[in-house]
Chains A and B, each alone.
Chain A
Amino acid sequence: MSDATSTGRPPPRDTRPVDWRALSVQIAIALAILWLGWHAIGNVAENMRARNIPSNFDFLFATAGFDLNQSLISYSATSTYGRAFLVGLLNTLAVAAIGIFFATIVGFAVGVARLSQNWMAAKLAAMYVEIIRNTPLLLQLFFWYTAVLAPLPGPRQSLSLPALGLRAPDPEATMAAVIAAALAGVALLAIRNQIKGSALKTAGFAISALFIILMIAAILFGPRILGFGEAAGILDISNGAYVFLNNRGLFLPFPSLGGAAIWFPVILLASAIGATGFAFWAKVQREEKGLIIPVFWINLLILVVPAALTIWAAGSSVSLDYPQLRGFNLAGGARVYPEFFALVLGLSLYTASFIAEIVRAGILSVAKGQTEAALALGLRRPAILKLVIIPQAMRVVIPPLTNQYLNLTKNSSLAVFIGFPDLVQVFVGTVLNQTGAMIQIVSITMAVYLVISLVTSLAMNAYNNKMALTER
Chain B
Amino acid sequence: MTEMSASSSTPQTFVRPAMTPERAAPVPTSGALAWIRDNLFPGPASSVATILGLLLLLWVIPPLAKFLFIDAVWSAENGDACRAQEAGACWAYVRQKFSFFMYGSYPREEVWRVNLTLIAGAILTVWMLWPDARGRGGAALAFFTVYPVLAFGILTGSAPFPVGWLPSSPEGQIIWIVLVVALFAIASTLFYLNRNIGWAIAIFGFIAWSELGSWWLSLGLPLVGTHLWGGIFVSLLVATVGIVFSLPLGIVLALGRRSQMPVLRFLSVMLIEFVRGVPLITVLVMANTMLPLFVPESWSPDRLLRPLIGVALFSAVYMAEVVRGGLQSVPKGQYEGAMALGLSWSQVTRLVVLPQALVTVIPGIVNSFIALFKDTTLVAIVGIFDFLKAVDTGRLDPVWAGPKISTTGYIFAAIFYFIFCFGMSRYSMMMERRHSAGRSH
- Any A CB within 8 A of the CB of B125: no
Tell whether, in the assembled complex, residue A26 and residue B263 are in contact, meaning their CB atoms are under 8 Å apart: yes
Interface residues of B in 394-441 (CB under 8 A from A): 395, 403, 406-407, 410, 413-414, 417-418, 421-422, 425
- Any A CB within 8 A of the CB of B39: yes
- Any A CB within 8 A of the CB of B260: yes
Q: Mark B44-57, 1 if CB is under 8 A from A, else 0.
A: 00100110011011
Q: Of all chain A residues, which has the CB nearest B292?
A: A47
Among A39, A47, A121, A139, the residue within 8 A (CB) of B50 is A121
Which residues of the partner chain A approach B140 to less than 8 Å between Cβ atoms?
none
Tell whether, in the assembled complex, residue A118 and residue B42 are in contact, meaning their CB atoms are under 8 Å apart: yes
Beyond A139-B388, A416-B381, A439-B290, whether A4 also contacts B342 by CB under 8 A is yes
Interface majority SS on B: helix, strand, loop or mixed? helix
Among B292, B345, B378, B395, the residue within 8 A (CB) of A8 is B345
- Any A CB within 8 A of the CB of B228: no
A181 CA / B16 CA spacing, docked (Å): 65
Q: Pick from B104-112, B207-215, B278-286 the stretch touching chain A.
A: B278-286
A73 CA / B92 CA spacing, docked (Å): 48
Interface residues on B, range: 35 or more
Which residues of the partner chain A approach B370 to less than 8 Å between Cβ atoms?
134
A138 CA / B263 CA spacing, docked (Å): 38
- Any A CB within 8 A of the CB of B392: yes
Tell whether, in the assembled complex, residue A1 and residue B343 are in contact, meaning their CB atoms are under 8 Å apart: yes
Tell whether, in the assembled complex, residue B388 and residue A124 are in contact, meaning their CB atoms are under 8 Å apart: no
Beyond A39-B171, A134-B370, whether A139 also contacts B377 by CB under 8 A is yes
Interface majority SS on A: helix, strand, loop or mixed? helix
- Any A CB within 8 A of the CB of B113: no
A43 CA / B300 CA spacing, docked (Å): 11
Which residues of the partner chain A approach B421 to less than 8 Å between Cβ atoms?
133-135
A27 CA / B348 CA spacing, docked (Å): 24
Shortest B429–chain A CB gap in Å is 12
A133 CA / B286 CA spacing, docked (Å): 27
Total residue contacts A-B, CB cutoff 8 A:
174
Q: Mark A431-472, 1 if CB is under 8 A from B, else 0.
A: 010000011001001100110011000000000000000000
Among B282, B339, B381, B388, the residue within 8 A (CB) of A445 is B282
Which residues of the partner chain A approach B49 to less than 8 Å between Cβ atoms?
116, 118, 120-121
Tell whether, in the assembled complex, residue B335 and residue A9 are in contact, meaning their CB atoms are under 8 Å apart: yes
- Any B CB within 8 A of the CB of A56: no
Tell whether, in the assembled complex, residue B294 and residue A26 are in contact, meaning their CB atoms are under 8 Å apart: no
Which residues of the partner chain B approach A2 to less than 8 Å between Cβ atoms?
342
Which residues of the partner chain A approach B388 to less than 8 Å between Cβ atoms?
136, 138-139, 142
Q: Pick from A64-72, A229-237, A407-415 the stretch touching chain B.
A: A407-415
Which residues of the partner chain A approach B344 to less than 8 Å between Cβ atoms?
4, 6-8
Tell whether, in the assembled complex, residue A417 and residue B414 are in contact, meaning their CB atoms are under 8 Å apart: no
Among A26, A136, A411, A442, the residue within 8 A (CB) of B286 is A442
Q: Of all chain A residues, which has the CB nearest B425?
A: A134
Beyond A134-B418, A136-B377, A139-B417, whether A449 also contacts B277 by CB under 8 A is yes
Instruction: Name 14 A/B residue pairs within 8 A (Cβ), A-sorted.
Output: A7-B342, A25-B264, A26-B263, A40-B295, A124-B53, A130-B422, A133-B421, A134-B422, A134-B425, A138-B380, A146-B406, A432-B289, A445-B282, A453-B277
- Measured CB to CB, the residues of B under 8 A from A are 39-40, 42, 46, 49-50, 53-54, 56-57, 171, 260-264, 267, 274, 276-282, 285-286, 289-290, 292-297, 335, 339, 341-348, 370, 374-375, 377-378, 380-381, 388, 392, 395, 403, 406-407, 410, 413-414, 417-418, 421-422, 425
16 further interface pairs, Cβ-Cβ under 8 Å (given A29-B264, A47-B292, A134-B425): A4-B343, A7-B339, A7-B345, A8-B348, A22-B260, A27-B263, A44-B294, A47-B293, A124-B57, A134-B418, A138-B378, A142-B392, A143-B414, A146-B406, A445-B278, A450-B274
